[in-house]
Amino acid sequence: MYITMRHLFNRGFYKPMGVSGETLRQSLLQLRPEIYGSIAEEKVELDGLLYVIDRLPRGIEECSVINLTSDEGYSNSHFKPIIPEKRRRNCYRIDEEQMNIEITRGRSEIYDILTHLTFLFIESHKISKSALIDDIGNTTRDWGKLKNVVTSTKKLTQKEREVAITHAANILGRTFSEISKIYNEFAIPSQPERLLHIIYWLGKLAIEEQISNNKRAVKFSPVLREEIGHHIHGEIWADAIKNILHKNKLLNRPIHVISANMHSVMNTLFAPSALKSLTSKHDIFDVYKMLSNNTNTNLRTKVQNEAFKEGMLYIDDTSGANIDVQIFDTEKIDVSKLDIKVDEITLKSKKPVILVMDYAFGEQAYETIDELLKPFNHKEEKIYLNVESLSIMGKAGILEGGKGDIMIPSAHIFEGTADNYPFKNELKKEDLECKGVDVYEGAMITVLGTSLQNKDILRFFFESTWSVIGLEMEGAHYQKAIQAASKVRGSIREDVKVRYAYYASDNPLKTGSTLASGGLGTSGVRPTYLITRTILEQILN
């Protein structure tokens, strides 16, 4: 699949349901990735469809031309960006038939989109197969009824909705209760009957492909093909950060980089002082849970304001890398208000700077860290960064244990190769044990895409002498960049400390525990903050 996708990208375009897309379709059906559930069966896969739809732009099911582009200036046009709910990328609906998807995060993003689209098109043909009676375009009664509902502008009553779900169930090969259960998860305020719309449009375009041979196409813009792998966005992103560090006279101070989300470090440092009344009455982890609830915006704002008051710098990314950054100057933080262990004497003498970057995506991890660790060129002068540590915290699939458990890697292995990156992890199992969460230690595999894993592959990693404990998408890429900068290029100190820890978002070896079965909810709060607090304690001591 990986080789096929690279070939199609180099070719410049392909028709997913035509001859050019056949290898990709067959490979996906043969692989039967866990995340796509019943892709190889006749019935339509609902959980997989929801997972994919959340990661693709709204309205993509209506488009017969999907154009993958670089950042080519659409942000300065009249086109409004469409940002998928679960993936930060700019997409633009050019006209009724065409959707442009901006790729600024490297090849991993292309593989991600192509596998999702292939799944979508395979499912669409299951719908058309069920809807068509003959090869001249006559359709079933169920399809006619569904079409009437979708093309009508009338708001549906509960009775009408249930009648429509009954017709949809016949088309999808699913039960009424299966569709009813997932129906509202597809709904959005502007389109409460969105699932019916998605089914209709996927089926409509697939019927047109079969009857009139009007095949859907995926194209790659010439600029994208030329720019991919050239670190264009990563370089702009890293330069902006170094300029701000230089402007604020922080460039020569000891720097600790943390790759994490945009809330856990900030909340750990400032929630105790910003929410004093809450932290005095509740356990700190309960306060973190309140902060992770989307409805508590007032609490979040209080913490954020406290952070800005104590010198936090926020870099809203405009490079296209889609990675925002927070910078914390420990000299400006009142450490007496912290509820974690701090060595004040060392802290006052060293005055470290903590740089928190949002998650990278797959291969983008190499591009961003590789550029960030390069020396800063200022007027004729080369300024080397004093990077003391890099800490990577993220979500990963676990192969032993379950959702919410913690994994401490001792090495990263790159899938599809035997490339392996052993390292000395400053985080140890004993640092996080006995704190209400199970902790596992061992090698982890960096996969080409979460949507390409099936049980046979994962069982091989788990049961063979690789003894892999989990899978994620960035580890080997981060470590490759760190090793190059510290051991080969000499851009940063050779003894730079590294910390890796992941919390489990799912166990793909357990049926019903994959990413497609839903998010972590509040079960991810405890492991996230246990890892964050441990990383900060090590940095501040």
Domains and CATH numbers, the chain: 1-226 (no CATH), 229-540 (3.40.50.1580)
Cα–Cα distances in angstroms (integers) from residue 296 to residues 184, 288, 290, 422, in the given order? 23, 11, 7, 41
The CA distance from 166 to 176, in Å, is 6
Taking alpha carbons only, the member of 427, 443, 406, 365 closest to residue 529 is: 406
- Give the CA count within 13 Å in the CB-facing half-sphere of 100: 19
Give one DSSP letter per residue of 12-69, joined into a string: -EE-TTSSTTHHHHHHHHHH--GGGTTTTSSSPPHHHHHHHHTTS-TTGGG-SEEEEE
Task: Point out which residues pair with 393 in neighbouring strands.
Answer: 501
Does pLDDT of 89 surpass 80?
A: yes
Return the structure tokens found at 150: 């979708």
Taking alpha carbons only, the member of 466, 511, 444 closest to residue 32 is: 511
151-155, 420-424, 491-495: which range is least confident on average?
151-155
The CA distance from 396 to 82, in Å, is 27
Question: What pLDDT was estimated at residue 452?
Answer: 76
What is the length of the chain?
A: 541
The CA distance from 491 to 484, in Å, is 9
Task: Point out which residues pair with 259 in neighbouring strands.
Answer: 357, 392
* Torsion sign, CA atoms 279, 282, 286, 290: negative
Output the average pLDDT for the chain: 93
User: What does the DSSP 8-state code read for residue 332?
Assistant: G
Section 499-528 average pLDDT: 77
Task: Assign 102 to helix, strand or coil.
Answer: strand
Return the structure tokens found at 197: 């719309």
CB 136 within 8 A of CB 62: no
Give one DSSP letter per residue of 378-440, joined into a string: ETTEEE---EEEEEEEEEEEESSS-TT-EEEEEEEEETTS--EEE--BS--HHHHTTSSS-EE
Task: Point out which residues pair with 503 in neighbouring strands.
Answer: 395, 406
The CA distance from 400 to 409, in Å, is 13
The CA distance from 489 to 505, in Å, is 35
The CA distance from 398 to 504, in Å, is 6
* Torsion sign, CA atoms 193, 194, 195, 196: positive
Give the angle subtended at the CA of 334 by the CAs of 313 and 337, to the nearest 5°: 120
pLDDT tens, position by position, 220-238:
999 999 999 899 999 999 9
Cα–Cα distances in angstroms (integers) from residue 228 to residues 71, 103, 483, in the given order? 11, 9, 23
Give one DSSP letter per residue of 142-191, joined into a string: HHHHHHHHHH--SPPPHHHHHHHHHHHHHHHT--HHHHHHHHHHH-BTTB
The CA distance from 367 to 231, in Å, is 6
Question: What pLDDT was estimated at residue 521?
Answer: 64
Cα–Cα distances in angstroms (integers) from residue 456 to residues 31, 32, 69, 464, in the given order? 9, 10, 35, 12
pLDDT tens, position by position, 125-154:
999 999 999 888 899 999 999 999 999 989
Section 27-43 average pLDDT: 88
Does pLDDT of 512 surpass 60?
A: no
Decide the pairing of beta strands 313-315 and 406-414: unpaired
Question: What pLDDT was estimated at residue 456?
Answer: 86
Residue type, 212: S
pLDDT tens, position by position, 2-34:
889 999 999 999 999 999 999 999 999 988 888
The CA distance from 29 to 52, in Å, is 16
Question: What pLDDT was estimated at residue 519?
Answer: 58
CB 498 within 8 A of CB 389: yes
- Give the CA count within 13 Å in the CB-facing half-sphere of 81: 14
Task: Assign 356 to helix, strand or coil.
Answer: strand
pTM of the model as a whole: 0.90
User: What does the DSSP 8-state code read for residue 363?
Assistant: T
Does pLDDT of 520 surpass 90?
A: no
Section 178-200 average pLDDT: 96
